[in-house]
Amino acid sequence: MSITIKSAEDIEGMRLACRLASEVLDYIAPHIKPGITTKEIDRLGAECMAQQGTISATVGYQPPGYPPYPASLCTSVNHVVCHGIPNDKPLKKGDIVNVDVTVITKDGWYGDNSRMYLIGECSIAAKRLSALTFDAMWHGIVQVKPGAHLGDIGHAIQKFAESQGFSIVREFCGHGIGQKFHEEPQVLHYGRPGTLEKLQPGMVFTIEPMINAGRREVKEHGNDGWTIVTKDHSLSAQWEHTVLVTETGYEVMTLSAGSPPLPAFVTATKT
Applying the rule CB under 5 A, the residues between 170 and 229 that interact with Co ion are 206
Which candidate, 33, 236, 212, places its Cα nearest to that of 121? 33
Fill in the per-residue mask, 10 to 39: x = in contact with ligand MF3 (CB under 6 A), - = not in contact.
------------------------------
Rounded to an integer, what distance in angstroms lies between the CA atom of residue 105 and that of residue 57? 10
Fill in the per-residue mask, 79 to 118: x = in contact with Co ion (CB under 5 A), - = not in contact.
---------------------x-----------x------
Which amino acid is it at 159? K
58 binds ligand MF3 (CB under 6 A): yes
Q: Quick check: bond before 185 cis, omega within 30? A: yes
Applying the rule CB under 6 A, the residues between 169 and 188 that interact with ligand MF3 are none
Which amino acid is it at 205? F
Residue of 42, 152, 208, 251 interacting with ligand MF3 (CB under 6 A): 208
| 69 touches, from ligand MF3, Co ion, none (C-beta below 5 to 8 Å by class) | ligand MF3
| 197 touches, from Co ion, ligand MF3, none (C-beta below 5 to 8 Å by class) | none
240 binds ligand MF3 (CB under 6 A): yes
Rounded to an integer, what distance in angstroms lies between the CA atom of residue 148 and that of residue 89? 44
Nearer Cβ to Co ion (110/160): 110
| 189 touches, from Co ion, ligand MF3, none (C-beta below 5 to 8 Å by class) | none
Using the 8-state DSSP alphabet, how is residue 270 labeled? B
Residue of 226, 227, 234, 242 interacting with ligand MF3 (CB under 6 A): 226
- Smallest separation (angstroms) from ligand MF3 to the CB of 178: 13
| 74 touches, from Co ion, ligand MF3, none (C-beta below 5 to 8 Å by class) | ligand MF3
Fill in the per-residue mask, 89 to 128: x = in contact with ligand MF3 (CB under 6 A), - = not in contact.
-----------x-x---------x----------------
- Smallest separation (angstroms) from Co ion to the CB of 207: 9
CB neighbour list of residue 258: distance below 8 Å, 6 or more residues apart: 22, 23, 25, 26, 29
Rounded to an integer, what distance in angstroms lies between the CA atom of residue 93 and that of residue 27? 21
CB neighbour list of residue 94: distance below 8 Å, 6 or more residues apart: 119, 120, 121, 122, 123, 126
DSSP one-letter string for 147-167: T-BHHHHHHHHHHHHHHTT-E
Rounded to an integer, what distance in angstroms lies between the CA atom of residue 87 and that of residue 80? 13
Size of the site for Co ion (CB under 5 A): 4
- CA dihedral 189→195→197→200, nearest 10 degrees, is 90
DSSP-assigned beta bridge partners for residue 198: 149
Binding site for Co ion (CB under 5 A): 100, 112, 206, 240
Binding site for ligand MF3 (CB under 6 A): 58, 61, 69, 74, 83, 100, 102, 112, 206, 208, 226, 240
